[in-house]
A and B are shown apart, each in its own frame.
Chain A
């Protein structure tokens, strides 16, 4: 019964109110603006708050020390500033200046939003079925991209033209094939590639940043074979001969392997939905009248005309 009540959006609305109230109470024991609006009480708490917000440093002990170490003049100035701010704020509120100020409006909405989210989080509970269903519906999100393992022999284009590099590569290819050069001996041939010799279980993104898109596509298209040297491929840096020894296609892992992520994602989605529900419940307690015709006889179409 209590649980059902807790899930009811209206309960959230009420809890919201309670939350705000607790909030206020916890932080302003004994405080209250219910008395004389023209009476400003400057107490230690008020000054500590003021000092901390001004310096944007929320260290009460430091603020207290700072406050205590102030000279008579400094303290007077601080109090004057505080009183000025408080008085003007109350005047503004009395004049209803906050009512149509969108910035203030947004800030208040934000505050209510956070509180709603907090309660939503408390209410969300996930069952095994929930997790399974979510995983099934969103399997693609957890997919592991394809990766390959290969080595290469390189001739750079920093000091020669691409066609010269390709020619050198072609000649080297014949040699590599003739001598059946194994994977581990690749470093003995060609020149030093900036980013290394072996690529072990590397994804597309990684390979593409070194070899460029066309060559990367070609590499991923190759069928791995430990005894074959292929080439030549051209990258932004030069010509390459490649021996590809392993390729793993993109796959979707089992739920057990990604359970942590699935749970976290589902929880956050549920939290969001609960928040939305609570907000809708709040909005629904208001009656809304839509009147597009305009006020005081002013014709909306005829700008500036008055009756």
Chain B
């Protein structure tokens, strides 16, 4: 009985894995979150000229002109795909406004003035205008009308079609839903699987329509059906969501149910967890034993600890448990204010919810992207062009670009990596849906990660680990079910450095699991280090960066690392997830180059001089 169940289970796992492995998967790099001059905030922050066309050209590797300082710039390594995701709210209206587009100027008043002009009174009109041109020009509610939005959305779709070259470069259609209830960031990028045939049948859903994610998902459901396409909603910047991005309750304050989990996972299978406005993997307060947890921590707009009410287990949640359980949980409860803010704790919270209510709404894959507002998908520390057009030079980065946030606090990050069968809209989209994707903070680190029960050390030495990976296990984003008797899950990992970046320091695995006390736990394991270390088993790799010149060498670290690892603390009855974190050796942060250029002490930038860039894989879940 057990054997046949196992056979069926294995067969199923193999089938799921096999659908992708039937064709070889290749690695593609891109940015799923980019703003051009069509976004009102980008426009106001001095990006007047870098439009979607510029964005695609930059991503493809062509030299372009920076919208603020006007110098010629070029990406270091061209990308394979791009989503231009301008804000749905007021999309493109400001450029149209200041360019005197007839659609915008065609109001009753406009018509009256045109009549006067026909009577030959132009010079008088002109004189009056010059006298008033100093007045601040406000966006008019009339400009957010359907006609205007439809035209701009049409332009965005046309630009995507113009630059889409199946097999060579993929341009997706998308936009950003910018919900910010009470200052909390709940933004999602929406990307579409199809093209203009579907896109022309709707106007992007914005936070004007609703700022609640459930309404967004219902709209996506309805629209996908009627326009015959598919969507992905990708949350980002959970680090500044005030604990609301991965909550225990829904938008109406009710405890999460299986229906919510199903709906959320249908539309949000992946999360953008590293970008210019900081890294959302974890926070040093949440992971005090993780020496690499304090990476690109972006604290702006996060409430001071202790002022937020949300804890790991809210009162409403505890209400459903027995008296004994409640006591136990209360004793161990940590009053941490940022659980709903970070990916690792959110993944753990997902295990808790799966266990208690039967559904996991936080079973997401992970990617990085930039969220750049300059139209440049720039995530290279030595070639970083700013969050906004304004903070793109050493001098301007010193100043605040958002309240209390100098340009120096922005990270030169991140990118999305996808293992897909081909570089087309459909293949990349499908890979994202099945979570065979991972995040990078910038460098194009190649990463293979498989989980199964039969990997051996020899598999790590294969030329192409994917062959054994797909044959004997599931790729990143996949699921392992109940372990066969006496067996532990084994994980096959191969990481290769970015040829234009730095060597690798180490491969780690982050495990999150639900203890027998129903409390979530985490642990970081060092799987393989690049070389023997001074000062003990897993000491730091060293640092070759010369602070005075910004130069560094690859005398430390390794070009590639590979291993098969099995969990020494495995308990076959405990739900768990495992994801890989690969670290580079230390390299200069973009602010170090600024400090050197300005002749100041790097400490004045308020940020470390060097950082260890990294890649995070999507998890593999173990569900007994």
Chain A residues proximal to chain B, CB less than 8 Å: 14-29, 33, 45, 48-49, 52-53, 56-61, 93, 98, 104, 108, 110-111, 114-115, 117-119, 121, 158, 187, 192, 194-195, 197, 209-210, 237, 260, 264
Contact A195 B114 (CB under 8 A): no
Is the pair A114, B138 in contact by a Cβ cutoff of 8 Å?
no
Q: A29–B109 contact, CB under 8 A?
A: yes
Cβ-defined contact, B140 with A26, below 8 A: yes
Instruction: Enumerate chain A residues within 8 angstroms of B90, measured Cβ to Cβ.
Output: 58-59
**Closest CB in chain B relative to A162 CB, distance in Å:** 15
- Asked if B560 and A121 sit within 8 Å, CB to CB, the answer is no
CB of B40 within 8 A of CB of A192, answer: no
Set of chain A residues within 8 Å of B497, measured between Cβ atoms: 194
Taking CB atoms, residues of chain B closer than 8 Å to A192 are 461-463, 560
Determine whether the beta carbon of B98 is less than 8 Å from that of A25: no
Determine whether the beta carbon of B500 is less than 8 Å from that of A209. yes
- Cα of A111 to Cα of B110 in the assembled complex, Å: 19
Name the residue of chain B whose CB is nearest to the CB of A18.
Answer: B117
* Docked CA distance A237–B496 (Å): 13
| Contact across chains for A27 and B132 when beta carbons are under 8 A apart | no
> CA separation between A48 and B140, bound complex, in Å?
10
The CA-CA distance from A158 to B554 in the complex, in Å, is: 11
Contact A25 B126 (CB under 8 A): no
Assess the B134–A17 pair: CB atoms within 8 A: no
User: Within the assembled complex, what's the spacing in Å between the Cα atoms of A115 and B133?
Assistant: 13
Q: Quick one: given A18-B125, A195-B496, are A27 and B144 in contact (CB under 8 Å)?
A: no
Query: Given A21-B128, A23-B100, A197-B463 in contact, is the A98-B134 Cβ separation under 8 Å?
Result: yes
How far apart are the CA atoms of A60 and B143 in the complex, in Å?
10
| B122 near A23: Cβ-Cβ < 8 Å | no
Q: In the complex, what distance in Å separates the CA atom of A221 from the CA atom of B471?
A: 40
| A23-B105 in contact (CB<8A) | yes
B306 at the interface (CB under 8 A from A): no
Q: Quick check: B132 and A24 within 8 Å, CB to CB?
A: yes
Q: B105 touching A26 by the CB < 8 A rule?
A: yes
Count chain A CB atoms within 10 A of each CB in B138, B207, B462 and give the residue with the most. B138
With both chains docked as a complex, state the minimum distance between the C-beta of B501 and any C-beta of chain A, in angstroms.
10
Q: Is B162 an interface residue (CB 8 A)?
A: yes
B125 touches A21 (CB 8 A): yes
Which residues of chain B in 549-587 are interfacial with respect to chain A, using CB atoms and an 8 Å cutoff? 558-560
Residue B48 is within 8 A (CB to CB) of chain A in the complex: yes
Interface residues of B (CB under 8 A from A): 40-41, 44, 48, 53, 77, 89-90, 95, 97-101, 104-105, 107, 109-110, 112-114, 117, 122-123, 125-126, 128-130, 132-142, 144, 162, 180, 207-208, 446, 461-464, 496-497, 499-500, 558-560
Chain A, Cβ-Cβ closest to B87: A58
CB-CB under 8 A from B105, the residues of chain A are 19, 22-23, 26
When the two chains form their complex, are residues A17 and B162 in contact, meaning their CB atoms are under 8 A apart? no
Contact, CB under 8 Å: B133 / A108 = yes
CB-based contact A21/B138 at 8 Å: no
| A25 contacts across to B, CB distance below 8 A | 107, 109-110, 112-113
Contact B208 A59 (CB under 8 A): yes
Contact, CB under 8 Å: A22 / B100: yes
Report the minimal beta-carbon distance from A155 to chain B, rounded to whole angstroms: 14
A33 with B132: CB separation less than 8 A: yes
A114 to chain B, nearest CB (A): 4
Complex Cα spacing A210 to B559, Å = 11
Given A25-B110, A27-B140, A17–B100 Cβ distance below 8 Å?
no
B112 contacts which chain A residues (CB < 8 A)? 25
CA distance A52 to B144 in the complex (A): 14
Question: Hey, which chain A residues are within 8 Å of B104, CB to CB?
Answer: 26
What is the CB-to-nearest-CB distance from A100 to chain B, in angstroms, rounded to a whole number? 14
**CB contact between A117 and one of B77, B99, B136 (< 8 Å): that residue:** B99
Bound form: Cα–Cα A16–B98 in Å: 11
Contact residue among A18, A24, A53, A118 (Cβ-Cβ distance under 8 Å from B101)? A118
Q: Are A187 and B463 interface neighbours, CB within 8 A?
A: yes
**Chain B positions within 8 Å of A59 at CB level:** 89-90, 207-208
Expressed in whole angstroms, the Cα–Cα distance for A61 and B49 within the complex equals 28
- Greatest chain B CB density within 10 A among A17, A25, A26, A210 is at A26
Q: In this complex, what residue of B is CB-closest to A20?
A: B129
Considering only CB atoms, which chain A residue lies closest to B163 in the complex?
A260
Query: Which residues of A lie under 8 Å from residue B125 when comparing CB positions?
Result: 17-18, 21
- Chain B residue at smallest Cβ distance from A29: B109
Which residues of B lie under 8 Å from residue A114 when comparing CB positions? 48, 95, 98-99
A187 to B466, CA, bound (A): 14
**Can you list 20 residue pairs at the A/B interface with Cβ under 8 Å?**
A18-B125, A18-B126, A19-B105, A20-B133, A23-B97, A23-B105, A24-B135, A25-B107, A26-B107, A26-B110, A27-B140, A45-B138, A52-B138, A53-B136, A59-B208, A61-B208, A98-B134, A158-B558, A187-B464, A194-B559
CB distance from A203 to the nearest CB of B (A): 10
Which of B123, B139, B144, B208 neighbours the largest number of chain A CB atoms within 10 Å of its CB? Answer: B139
The 3 closest A-B pairs by CB, nearest first: A118-B99, A17-B126, A19-B100
Taking the nearest CB of chain A, how far is it from the CB of B285, in angstroms? 29
Query: B138, A48: Cβ atoms under 8 Å?
Result: yes
B122, A121: Cβ atoms closer than 8 Å: no
The distance in angstroms between the C-alpha atoms of A260 and B165, with both chains bound, is: 12
Are B122 and A14 within 8 A (Cβ)? yes
* Inter-chain contacts of A16 with B (CB < 8 A): 126
* Closest chain A residue to B46, Cβ basis: A110
Decide yes or no: A21 and B126 within 8 Å by CB, A56-B41, A209-B500 being known contacts: yes
Residues of B within 8 A of A158 (CB): 558-559
**B496: A residues at CB distance < 8 A:** 194-195
Closest-CB distance, B588 to chain A (whole angstroms): 19
Tell me which of A28, A52, A93, A194 has the highest count of chain B C-beta atoms within 10 A of its own C-beta.
A194
Shortest distance in angstroms between A233's beta carbon and chain B's nearest beta carbon? 16
Contact of A104 among B97, B134, B180 (CB under 8 A): B134
Chain A residues lying within 8 Å of B44, measured Cβ to Cβ, are: 56
- Chain B residues positioned under 8 Å from A110 (CB to CB): 48
| Chain B residues, Cβ within 8 Å of A28 | 135
How far, in angstroms, from A237 to B463 measured CA to CA in the complex?
Answer: 16
